[in-house]
Amino acid sequence: MTVLVKTRYGSKPGDSDLAPPVRRIQSMNAEPSPGDMILKLLPAFSAVLIPLSALINGASGEVIHPNRTFKAADVVTIQLEALMNNNLPQPDEGIRQTWAFAHPVNRSATGPVERFSNMIKGPHYRELLEHISHDIQPLESDDTVATFAVEIVSRSGRRLGFQWVVARVSEGKYAGAWMTIQVSPPVPLGQNI
C-alpha cells in the first residue's frame, strides 16, 4: 500500500492542479494498523504544527503575539497562514494577525492598523489575501536579521515572489522576538496556474 501525503503549506482540498510536492510512504503490510499509519505520517505533519496552532488560536479570535520562542521562519509562516485565511474567524482577522508581528520600525512606517490594512488591500499586496498556497525558503540569516524568499499562488492563479525580512526587536515589550521589518513588492514568477 502506498500513501501520498501533501507537504506544501496552504494546499486545500481540490487543488490537485497545483501539483504540490508529494512524499511517498511505503507500508510493509497491505493493511497497516491505524497506529502504524499515524507514526509514519507524523513527520509529514511536523512541518505544519506552527501553522495549525496559529489557525486554532485564530479560530477563537485570539491574536497570537510575538515572543522569543518563535523562530524567524515561524513568524513568516504565521503571517502567511493568517493572510491565506484572512476572513476567519472574522473579516480581516488575518490582517490583524499580520500586524501583530509587524516590527516597531515597520509599524512606524505603515501604521496604525487601519492604514496597514489599506496597504495590504492595495495593488502591491492584495494578492496575499486568501492566496491558495505558499512556499517559504530561507535566503540568509544571522542572530538579528533573517531574509526569506516567499512564493505564493494567488486566488487568481498568479505565481508571485516576495522577499520577506524579519528582525529581532532590540528593546521594549517584544525585545528578543522576531518580527517582520520589510516585505518587498511582488515579482511575477513564470506562468500563472
For residue 2 the three cell numbers come to: 502506498
Asked if the 60-188 domain carries CATH number 3.80.10, the reply is no
| Residue with grid cell 511575477, as numbered in its chain | 188
Closest by alpha carbon to 100, among 78, 121, 73? Answer: 78
> CA separation (Å) from 105 to 41, 97, 101?
41, 17, 11
- The structural domains of the chain, with segments of one domain joined by +, span 2-46, 60-188
The per-residue pLDDT for 81 is: 98
Q: pLDDT tens digits for 168-188?
A: 999 999 999 999 999 999 999
For residue 118 the three cell numbers come to: 489599506
Please check whether residue 165 is in contact with residue 183, taking contact to mean a CB–CB distance below 8 angstroms.
yes
Q: pLDDT tens digits for 44-61?
A: 443 444 444 444 344 556
What distance in Å separates the CA atoms of residue 63 and residue 121, rounded to the nearest whole number? Answer: 20
Closest by alpha carbon to 47, among 89, 93, 5? Answer: 5
